[in-house]
Amino acid sequence: MKIIVGLGNPDGKYKNTYHNVGFNVVDFFAKQRGLKFNVKKCKALIAVGENFVLAKPQTYMNLSGDSVYELKKYYKSNLDEILIVLDDIDQPKGRVRFRLTGSAGTHNGLRDIVNKVGITPRLRVGIGRDANMDLKDYVLSTVDEQSKKILGDSTKKACELIEKFLLGELCQDITV
């Protein structure tokens, strides 16, 4: 079973922050397919598709590995069947990057997943960074109006890549 995991923080106060881009992408993907996150399992909200599961861990970002570990075990998925969708401050705002492997970089949620589960494919959505703000303050800040348009476009690109991942069409790193 393929598992698409969008990273974010479950508390409503984080809903429109840069750090919840992963949640936003899987929400949009689910909406396109008429799926609802109506099951709570493996420390995540789950939406079940025909041959895949969408998941939004409810553990808070820095403990995302707990949920992904349980999802992997429950669905008996291989590491290459799990796609992590996350925000990336090291990519320009709007850039979408699919990688089969790689390090966690500066992302604590991905670092926790790598430490507890292993290296999985990942889909990074660039959020840029504000050099005048502390990293934590920036990722937890509300997305401004100008950035909403850019991130909306990158969400669509990310969903196209998720579809290709589900069809087994992604076999190399891609940046769009």
Catalytic residues: 19
Residue whose tokens read 């966690």: 104
Q: Print the SS3 string covering 103-170.
A: CCCCCHHHHHHHHHCCCCCEEEEECCCCCCCCHHHHHCCECCHHHHHHHHHHHHHHHHHHHHHHCCCC
Residue whose tokens read 């990942």: 122
Quote the tokens at residue 167.
Answer: 């069809």
Q: CA-to-CA distance for 164 and 90, rounded, in angstroms?
A: 24
